[in-house]
Structure 1
Amino acid sequence: MTLIKSISGIRGTIGGTVGDNLTPIDAVKFASAYGMWIKQQRNKEHYRVVVGRDARISGEMIQNLVMNTLVGLGIHVIDLGLSTTPTVEIAVPMEHADGGIILTASHNPKQWNALKLLDAKGEFLNAEEGAKILEIAETDEMSFADVDSLGKITINDAYIDMHIDEVLAMNLVNKKAIEKANFKVVVDGVNSTGGIAIPMLLERLGVHPVKLYCEPNGHFPHNPEPLKEHLTDLSEAVVKANADFGIVVDPDVDRLAFMDENGDMFGEEYTLVACADYVLSKIPGNTVSNMSSTRALRDITEKHGGTYEASAVGEVNVVTLMKKNNAVIGGEGNGGVIYPELHYGRDALVGVALFLSLLAEGHMTVSELRASYPNYFMSKKKIQLTPDLDVDGILEVMEKNYAHEKLTTIDGVKIDFTNSWVHLRKSNTEPIIRIYTEAPSQHEAVDLADRIISEIKSIANI
């Protein structure tokens, strides 16, 4: 089964059979359900939806299917063409649109694609809204427009430029200091739309970009998830170019990671930590990340006199808690920076601009910056379970076994020890338990994960 239907949209592999993969029929079905949901939100004469895509090989096909389905529902479409997830997110309110769709499977390999769905604020749908769209998709509630009421498609390919304008206009972006620093930066755009957007942003900030895999042809040169083991080419390119650092983004440009001047990973978890450090030094306040993100954000937040709180995993959950706590910055440990001054969505362009401002004002190298932060190491593992096992029951036993520790149970079970933590959560799509740990050393993080895995296997008799 490679078609995954969730509250945030639908994703799957291209080709194959209907209902088991992301076929043209499935794309039309779920675009229709989303369009119907849009029209149910309020009674008005004209509806507008913004649509953009990353550079995946299947992107143009899926986008044409989605856009013309919306046209068939009488909905007008603003076609951004090649774009980024955060660009579509800011375009929705700027266009006074009723919603948005991004055609991207984020960090998944090239055979995958997806429909990511946005509301009228340009934010991901909540659980109730997503569930309603899935419900509509399984019914016969579709009603299409007559020939005189069809929607129209308007092309607007200026939004990446407009997105950059908005980033440069942010109060904390110190363009003068960045220009004066005369940075040279290698950019790995994984042959998707980050190869368009990030070099454009750097050039406008007075930074010299060295392009690596910046041709938006959808042929990913390596696994597109921005992890250390996938980035040997970037590491070599940074050293060879004698660059100040390297930047890598995922295909839809909402995840951001850095590499220092020595070709070593800054740490994807520390992207948000660094950006938060800069923002909090200017605007004291609160922060939010999800429960599987590094404790370093809490440490930095408290250093600046703010309060940190963790949400359930998922961008929509992070955003909800950020609004509740009036957080000045937040995001996810996977390199996702959410800065409310611009919009409530993970945005690599925002992260790059804040990071450059921090470096330029601090007059330090990237390795020196990394050394200034608390040192934590993570382990991410999973246990494959048989479908008949009671995963909730297993987690309940673990909760009881560690009742004497600090526990959080809003999303699985998170156990906070003095110098480490473990987060256990079940997958929504397959019979596995994910085990994330963090400790002061990689050895301790792995040992903690292995110990917890042994305990779970003992409870489950596997």
Structure 2
Amino acid sequence: MTLIKSISGIRGTIGGKVSENLTPLDAVKFAAAYGTWIKKQATKEKVTVVIGRDARLSGEMIQNLVQFTLVGLGIDVIDLGLSTTPTVEIAVPLEKADGGIILTASHNPKQWNALKLLNHKGEFLSGADGAEILKLAENDDYSFAAVDDIGEVTKNDAYIDIHIDEVLELSLVDADKIKAANFKVVVDAVNSTGGIAIPKLLKELGVQVIEMYCKPTGHFPHNPEPLKEHLSEICERVVAEGADFGIVVDPDVDRLAFISNDGEMFGEEYTLVACADYILSKTKGNTVSNLSSSRALRDVTEKHGGTYEAAAVGEVNVVTLMKKNNTVIGGEGNGGIIYPESHYGRDALVGVALFLTHLAEKGGTVAALRASYPAYFMSKKKIELTPELDVDGILATIAKTYKAENLTTIDGVKIDFPENWVHLRKSNTEPIIRIYTEAHTQQEADVLADRFIAEISKIAGLH
């Protein structure tokens, strides 16, 4: 079992030994460090933090530990209960709160949970801020409030509805066109909080909803990462129901994948491509995604006269570059849509509403829409790490070997070949090396990935 402490938060498996897993003591310690940091940042005497969680089985336990640790520090807590990551992100500034915590391990299986940490803008913390919190946690450098100064918990379960209202009010979301299109959609929300938010949004937009796994029980019916190999059931259901398409979200609803009307994957990478195509057709501007995302976004951006740039992997890195480049839409190729008119966070609700408007305007099928975009195919593989593996040394060797190519080393090693690319990096959330490749055919992408797996294995002496 595993506990991963990083600048983006703390993530681990439930149970086991302290400091090796996400135990109650680890949750309390890290919550105390974050609360202490928030109090230092705040310019007012009374500090407030918004907390929400996905539906995973350990959520209520971890939330109680975290929020009452904050209360013990003298911090007031606004408890959103079952919520989504983007809902908490919009709640923080609306509540004029000093920070926020989402209790979710995102796409990880049910044994995992995590604390995702937000600043007063409802955005993920910078690397420097995250490092400071880690230091506080390592040194047990916090002081709790006296009895007369402890915080209070206020429950507010209205924010998913508020979030939906915010989405419906976006200037490029056209509810009338969506209603007129009379769409029928299948939704797989892996029995987490997307099962509350997504069907509710769709019904507001006049969409006929067929629900799959939309009860927020936390019992994930399949691996919750929205990848093709986990989604055979909804692919079959879309065809069987004669639906226009399918919608899949991860447990905390910041990743979004579509199933085309023919039961094929629209492609997680193409969620952002399609939404960007729509936004750029209405609003001239630039786009940003991360180094592991498809070239298709670059192609679509340039078609509309904009400029594309890639950031290091990690939402905070994408957001930083989006702000610098005055980007009109951006995100991550894992199905994460960041639309600044709404907020600077990945938001599946925003993505659904933009995609529906785009489809209603264009007419035709989802399969035809997908076929209209540049054809790229990705391979996403990984190598499990062992303690003795010198990952940085391996990546440095690869970079040296390919120094004559178009090389980027801001986040692992990315090699842009003329017809394809490979990106090698250490994961921030799991003990693995990720190997992402993209090419004009799936076979070419897979062969390229296997080639680099073999090269890494040879360098590491794994075979």
- Do 2:289 and 2:330's aligned partners in 1 also have CA atoms closer than 8 Å? yes
Question: Which residue of structure 2 lines up, in the alignment, with residue 90 of structure 1?
Answer: 90
Give the aligned length: 462
Q: Deviations over 1:214-255 (max 9, x none)?
A: 000101111111111111221122122111110010000000
Q: Deviations over 1:160-193 (max 9, x none)?
A: 0000010011000011110100101011111000
Q: Quick one: distance in 1 between partners of 2:389 and 2:179?
A: 58
- Do 2:194 and 2:252's aligned partners in 1 also have CA atoms closer than 8 Å? yes
Within 5 Å, which residues of 2 pair with 1:430-441? 432-441=432-441
Stretch of structure 1 that moved more, 371-380 or 393-402: 393-402
Q: Quick one: distance in 2 between partners of 1:21 and 1:394?
A: 28
Q: CA separation of 1:74/1:425 partners in 2, compared to 1, >3 Å: closer, same or farther?
A: same
Within 5 Å, which residues of 2 pair with 1:33-432? 33-384=33-384, 386-427=386-427, 432=432
SS in 2 for 1:328: strand
Which one-letter code corresponds to 2:170 in the other structure?
M
SS in 2 for 1:51: strand
- Do 1:19 and 1:26's aligned partners in 2 also have CA atoms closer than 8 Å? yes
Shift of 1:14: 1.3
- Do 1:288 and 1:310's aligned partners in 2 also have CA atoms closer than 8 Å? yes
Q: What TM-score, normalized to structure 1?
A: 0.97
SS in 1 for 2:139: coil
Query: Runs ≥4 in structure 1, deviation > 4 angstroms?
Result: 428-432
Q: Quick one: distance in 1 between partners of 2:13 and 2:398?
A: 36
Which one-letter code corresponds to 1:258 in the other structure?
F
Q: Quick one: distance in 1 between partners of 2:290 and 2:383?
A: 21
- Do 1:73 and 1:143's aligned partners in 2 also have CA atoms closer than 8 Å? yes
Shift of 1:424: 1.5
Shift of 1:414: 0.9
Q: CA separation of 1:461/1:135 partners in 2, compared to 1, >3 Å: closer, same or farther?
A: same
Q: What TM-score, normalized to structure 2?
A: 0.97
Which one-letter code corresponds to 2:449 in the other structure?
A
Which one-letter code corresponds to 2:274 in the other structure?
A
Q: Deviations over 1:4-53 (max 9, x none)?
A: 11111111111112111111111111111110000011342110000000
Q: Quick one: distance in 2 between partners of 1:386 and 1:45?
A: 47
Q: CA separation of 1:320/1:387 partners in 2, compared to 1, >3 Å: closer, same or farther?
A: same
Q: CA separation of 1:161/1:57 partners in 2, compared to 1, >3 Å: closer, same or farther?
A: same
Aligned-residue identity in percent: 76
How big is the alpha-carbon RMSD for the aligned residues of Structure 1 and Structure 2? Answer: 1.4
Q: CA separation of 1:386/1:63 partners in 2, compared to 1, >3 Å: closer, same or farther?
A: closer
Q: Quick one: distance in 1 between partners of 2:430 and 2:196?
A: 35
Which one-letter code corresponds to 1:75 in the other structure?
I
Q: Quick one: distance in 2 between partners of 1:92 and 1:429?
A: 24
Q: Quick one: distance in 1 between partners of 2:260 and 2:327?
A: 28
Q: Quick one: distance in 2 between partners of 1:346 and 1:356?
A: 17
Q: Deviations over 1:305-324 (max 9, x none)?
A: 00000010111100011011
Question: Which residue of structure 2 lines up, in the alignment, with residue 443 of structure 1?
Answer: 443
- Do 2:42 and 2:98's aligned partners in 1 also have CA atoms closer than 8 Å? no
Q: Quick one: distance in 1 between partners of 2:386 and 2:198?
A: 44
Which one-letter code corresponds to 1:22 in the other structure?
L
Q: CA separation of 1:113/1:432 partners in 2, compared to 1, >3 Å: closer, same or farther?
A: closer
User: Which structure 2 segments of 5+ residues have no match?
Assistant: none
- Do 1:387 and 1:431's aligned partners in 2 also have CA atoms closer than 8 Å? no
SS in 2 for 1:138: helix
Question: Which residue of structure 1 lines up, in the alignment, with residue 20 of structure 2?
Answer: 20
Q: CA separation of 1:415/1:347 partners in 2, compared to 1, >3 Å: closer, same or farther?
A: same
- Do 2:29 and 2:140's aligned partners in 1 also have CA atoms closer than 8 Å? no
- Do 1:36 and 1:142's aligned partners in 2 also have CA atoms closer than 8 Å? yes
Q: Deviations over 1:357-391 (max 9, x none)?
A: 00000011100000000111111223345544443
Q: Quick one: distance in 1 between partners of 2:122 and 2:431?
A: 32
